[in-house]
Structure formats: structure tokens, C-alpha cells
């Protein structure tokens, strides 16, 4: 298995892979493949923080970290949003998701990002150091159950700077 940066030649494959993989996901909205496309076309897309895992020249995993922001009355802070993390059904529960998270996080640290936000299954992401974002005083600009809004500090920071409302891209 290899994990590498995604490239333009992967985009159509990632679209179909994401659609198929999320059909069996525990937490989903059915629009994940289009969400990936919208993120890629936005100014928030970070090609150096989007990875695919390949096995036998087939995509079996994908992760993207994109820019977003948290705002409060004092400032706007740039953070990352992990969306989505996708693993093919036959590759789940083998550590690939955790490996993709670790690689993306390691690369994000190099760019001096301090925090990653995500919307996802708390029982899964807590194993990778994510906690409810409300722990840090962070709420979403979208209506969603607060237990699914998660955050992780990846570089030292003054956490008080991050209390506020996170913008969830659409």
C-alpha cells in the first residue's frame, strides 16, 4: 500500500470512490462526493493536504484537510477541517483511516496549523485524539448535533483564541 498526494488524474476516481464508500458509512449525508468537488474548487483547497491510499493501483482510502475559520468578537483564526475521511469497505477496521489521519496531521503541522475540526463519529475519532469542539468553546455555524463537531489541537496554541464559531463549508 502506498499513500501519496492526490493529483488531478485522481479526481474522477475519487469522486466515484467517495460515493461508493459512503453508501456503507455509519455517518453520512449522501453528498460527500460533491462536497469533495466543491472543496477542491474553493479557495480553501490545500493540494498539499489531500492524500490517497492505493493498493494494487486502486484507491482504497482518501483524506482531505481544507482551510476554514473560527471567528469570535476578537479575531478570526484559520484552522483546518478534515472532510472527508474515506476508506473502502473491505479495508475498514485495519488501521488505514488512522494512518491517513496521522499522515495528514503530520503534514499540517509542517504548515504551522494549530487545529483540525471535523464532523464525524465521536466514538471513532476520539481514538485519534479528537474531542468535542465545545470543550474548547467552539460551536458550528450549521445546525448539527454538537457531539459530532470534533476538534484536535495539533500545534501549541492559546486555546482561548479559538473559542467561537467555526465556519463549515458547504
Q: How much is the pLDDT for 40?
A: 95
Check residues 161 and 78 and name the one with the higher pLDDT. 78
Task: Return the pLDDT at 26.
Answer: 73
DSSP secondary-structure letter at 147? G
* Lowest mean pLDDT, pick from 17-26, 31-40, 75-84: 17-26
CA distances from 103 to 28, 71, 159 (A): 23, 27, 23
Confidence band, pLDDT 50/70/90 cuts, at residue 161: confident
Domain range for 119: 2-166
For position 147, what pLDDT does the model report? 96
pLDDT in tens, 119-159: 999 999 999 999 999 999 999 999 989 999 999 999 988 77
Contacts of residue 29, defined as CB under 8 A and 6 or more positions apart, other chains included, come to: none
The half-sphere exposure of 133 on its side-chain side, counting CA atoms within 13 A, is 29
Report which DSSP code applies to 30: S
For residue 37, what pLDDT band results from cuts at 50, 70 and 90?
very high
Please answer whether residues 81 and 168 qualify as being in contact, where contact means their C-beta atoms are separated by less than 8 angstroms: yes
Across the chain, what does the average pLDDT equal?
94
DSSP secondary-structure letter at 113? -
Confidence tier at 87 by pLDDT (50, 70, 90): very high
Give the CATH number, domain containing residue 51. Answer: 3.40.630.30
Task: Indicate the number of domains in the chain.
Answer: 1
- Is residue 119 within 8 A of residue 145, CB to CB? The reply is no
Task: Calculate mean pLDDT across residues 20-29.
Answer: 82
d(CA 101, CA 51): 10
**What is the grid cell recorded at 163?**
473559542
pLDDT tens readout for residues 100-119: 999 999 999 999 999 999 99
Q: What pLDDT does residue 11 have?
A: 97
C-alpha cell of residue 62: 482518501
Is residue 28 pLDDT above 80, yes or no? no
Q: DSSP labels for 38-72?
A: HHHHSTT--GGGEEEEEETTEEEEEEEEEEEEEE-
Amino acid at each position: 500500500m502506498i499513500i501519496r498526494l492526490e493529483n488531478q488524474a485522481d479526481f474522477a476516481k475519487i469522486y466515484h470512490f467517495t460515493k461508493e464508500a459512503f453508501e456503507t458509512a455509519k455517518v453520512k449525508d449522501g453528498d460527500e462526493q460533491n462536497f469533495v468537488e466543491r472543496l477542491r474548487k474553493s479557495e480553501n483547497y490545500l493540494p498539499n493536504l489531500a492524500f490517497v491510499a492505493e493498493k494494487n493501483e486502486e484507491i482504497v482510502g482518501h483524506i482531505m484537510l481544507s482551510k476554514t475559520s473560527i471567528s469570535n468578537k476578537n479575531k478570526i483564526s484559520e484552522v483546518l477541517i478534515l472532510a472527508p475521511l474515506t476508506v473502502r469497505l473491505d479495508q475498514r477496521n485495519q488501521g488505514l483511516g488512522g494512518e491517513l489521519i496521522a499522515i495528514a496531521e503530520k503534514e499540517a503541522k509542517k504548515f504551522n496549523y494549530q487545529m483540525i475540526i471535523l464532523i464525524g463519529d465521536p466514538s471513532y475519532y476520539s481514538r485519534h485524539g479528537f474531542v468535542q469542539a465545545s470543550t474548547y468553546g467552539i460551536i458550528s455555524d450549521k445546525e448539527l448535533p454538537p457531539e459530532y463537531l470534533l476538534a484536535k489541537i495539533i500545534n501549541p496554541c492559546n486555546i482561548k483564541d479559538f473559542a467561537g464559531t467555526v465556519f463549515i463549508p458547504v
